[in-house]
Chains A and B, each alone.
Chain A
Amino acid sequence: MTALDHVILIPVLLPLLCGAAMAPLTQGWHRLKLALGYLSVLGMLATALLLVAMTDGGYWQGGIGVYLAANWAAPFGIALVADRLAALMLLLTALLALAALHFAMQRWGRIGVHFHTLFQFLLMGINGAFLTHDLFNLFVFFEVMLASSYGLLLHGYNAERLRAGMQYIAVNLAASLLFLLGTALIYAATGTLNMADLAARIAVLPAPELGLVQIGASVLALAFLIKSAMWPLGFWLPTTYAAASPPVAAMLVLMTKVGTYAILRLWLLWFPGGWSYDALLWGGAATILFGAAGMLSTDSAGRMAGYGAIVSSGTLLAVIGYGQASLVAAGLYYLVGSTLAIAAFLLLVELIDRIRTPSAAILAVTMEAYAVEDKPDEPLGQGVPAALAFLALSFAACALMIAGLPPLSGFVAKFGMFHALLHPVDGRIPGTAWALMALVLASGLVAVMAMLRFGVRTFWANSGATKAAPPRLHRSEVAPVVFLLALSGVMTIEAGPIYGYLERASAGIHRPADYIERVLGHPAVPSPSSAAAGGEGS
């Protein structure tokens, strides 16, 4: 184990330390808090880039880096594992966090005391959930993530947020109980909690215990699927997204992907034989239908973004359930692209709402209470045209990405999925492939219709009213949206290399034997006394 191996721990440690350092600071220190937040997020970004380079650059054998916490050998202690998929998710988290933090700089980070602290703990939970290779530790990181998200959801306290928060907390507390039940059942049947060790044991388990593991895994899946909002478990999602403050909502988009990530990782590791994949496929299909119907039925932009996230979750679950490695690679590309798009859209929603309701009355009261001066430092452009043009163009870009139209990354993702569906390994295209393609296309069409309707109402039909009250945009609120959309542009231009990386990542998680070998075979660092004795001997 070299010093560089410790990099795996940084994405958990850095936000924890920064968050803890901020906790005792009062709001008078908000500049210091912001600086610490930036330090942490930029550090995470650098670490994530380093991890991507290390996993993909052959630093670790098979692209799997193992870190034994407290130096306990694998099945007994907690192992952290960084592979290409985890590195990718860490990178996505850091990029989104950077955008959300920058967006929160002007307003949201300054109302309420503990925004930055909770934000860091949320990042710690998300990063930990991506890295950990122990089932119970996954539960702990989920709880860290959820507990901070409860606080963040209530940020900017009003009746709507409280009501949404109550339901969100109740649903997630119940989901956590299911998580515990599933974990306990799996432990009872196998006697281990290490994911790789579980994979090795499940492969050779006799029938009665295997049944118990499958029951446990199903209960566990319920907990993950509530997070990733599979129909019929996702009714909490649109209300929650619409109620949350924009930077928090942008991070919530990522949290639905954590559930999907857990399913992807655990099911490919434990059940490579294909048990229960059909349930994911059809559940995902039903979720796409539900999300598309929801998008058409609502005219609130926040709820529309929520239903967009549901469609995206459904597509991913269906892709995982289809069970083909090349399709999973395209699905990962879709995951990154759709997360960026929906997060950008949720940030944009607040800015667009300023056209529709020029005086954001609820916010104004809170701003007054915390004495935040509401003067834009430098208004973007001279009045209406530039600001409105920016909003309309960004909205159009988000719509293109969510609907999957060219030229942005949403189109590349859907093209990749169709290409994978039409080029199966054995050369035979089953009926489900056609059904899935039809569903994905139809959901894209519905998204276009819903977004178009909203865009026309807001930017076109409403233009008379906006002349009277031009929206005021801060540079710090415009930059994150541009940043996220530019990332999507980069994803389109650099689609070749990114696809190559994702294909290697997908091929990696389809080889559970590698994980079993690398995690269980990882040697603990010898104790200093025995190392010294060995040194003398030689």
Chain B
Amino acid sequence: MEAVISLAIGIVFAAGIWLVLRPRSFQVLAGLMLMSYAVNLFIFVMGRLWVDKPPLTPAGTRPDPAVLADPLPQALVLTAIVIGFATTALYLVVMIGARGLTATDHVDGREPES
């Protein structure tokens, strides 16, 4: 399971890096989003991979760490998703503004001379 999920994270992240290095601003945005998915998964996995272990305790029972998953990475990833989502949305707005003002979607704000 560990090998599969690390491969998945690696592939998504690599695709993100490739897209970030592309010249069109929408590709950069898509790349940043892919990278942030990979990072969110990575944080989640850093709490170790468990099957059948909830991060919550049923009411009225004594919490037993042995049957619980680590709840902290799950809380962290929630925060990271929210922040990442907001900043990506902001980037999208800037991108649309730049497209309108410069009439090109090249990241330099002008088409390269060919």
Contact = CB atoms under 8 A, between A and B. Distances in A.
| A and B assemble together | yes
B90 A169 contact: yes
Nearest to A144: B83
Interface string B74-92: 0010011001101110110
B32 A173 contact: yes
Nearest to A151: B90
B87 A170 contact: no
B76 A162 contact: no
B80 A170 contact: no
Given A136-B76, A187-B73, A162 B102 contact: yes
Given A143-B83, A184-B76, A187-B73, A163 B88 contact: no
B109 interface: yes
Interface stretch (A35-43, A65-73, A175-183, A261-269): A175-183
Contacts of A167: 107
B94 A169 contact: yes
B35 A163 contact: no
Contacts of A165: 94
B91 A136 contact: no
Contact of A159 (B35, B94, B109): B109
B32 A174 contact: yes
Nearest to B80: A180
Interface residues of A, number: 31
Contacts of A181: 39, 42
B83 A174 contact: no
Nearest to A143: B83
Contacts of A184: 39, 42-43, 46, 73, 76
A417 interface: no
A140 interface: yes
Contacts of B90: 147, 150-151, 169
Interface in B8-34: 20, 25, 28, 32
A180 B43 contact: yes
A174 B20 contact: yes
Interface in A170-224: 170, 173-174, 176-177, 180-181, 183-185, 187-188, 193
Given A169-B94, A180-B80, A162 B87 contact: no
A185 B98 contact: no
Given A136-B79, A162-B101, A163-B108, A177 B91 contact: no
Interface in B54-77: 72-73, 76
A484 to B, nearest CB: 31
A140 B46 CA distance: 19
Contact of B72 (A140, A154, A187): A187
A143 B36 CA distance: 14
A166 interface: yes
B32 to A, nearest CB: 5
Contacts of B39: 177, 180-181, 184
Contacts of A193: 72
Contacts of A177: 32, 35-36, 39, 84
A144 to B, nearest CB: 9
A311 interface: no
B98 A162 contact: yes
Given A173-B88, A184-B46, A140 B83 contact: yes
Contacts of B48: 188
Contact of B95 (A159, A166, A188): A166
B87 A188 contact: no
Contact of A162 (B43, B84, B97): B97
A158 B102 CA distance: 10
Given A136-B76, A169-B91, A162 B46 contact: no
Contacts of A162: 94, 97-98, 101-102, 109
Contacts of B79: 136, 140
A338 to B, nearest CB: 29
A253 interface: no
A7 B108 CA distance: 46
A146 interface: yes
Contacts of A151: 90
B1 to A, nearest CB: 16
Nearest to B109: A163
A193 B95 CA distance: 35
Contacts of A163: 98, 102, 108-109
A151 B90 CA distance: 9
Contacts of A169: 87, 90-91, 94
A166 B27 CA distance: 13
B20 A170 contact: yes
29 contacts: A147-B87, A147-B90, A150-B94, A154-B94, A157-B97, A158-B101, A159-B101, A159-B109, A162-B101, A162-B109, A163-B108, A165-B94, A173-B32, A173-B36, A173-B88, A174-B20, A174-B35, A176-B84, A176-B87, A177-B84, A180-B42, A180-B80, A181-B42, A183-B43, A184-B73, A185-B46, A187-B46, A187-B72, A187-B73
Interface of B: 20, 25, 28, 32, 35-36, 39, 42-43, 46-48, 72-73, 76, 79-80, 83-84, 86-88, 90-91, 94-95, 97-98, 101-102, 107-109
10 A-B pairs closest in CB distance: A188-B46, A163-B109, A184-B46, A184-B43, A162-B98, A177-B39, A143-B83, A180-B39, A169-B91, A159-B101
Given A140-B79, A177-B84, 4 more contacts: A166-B94, A169-B90, A176-B83, A177-B39
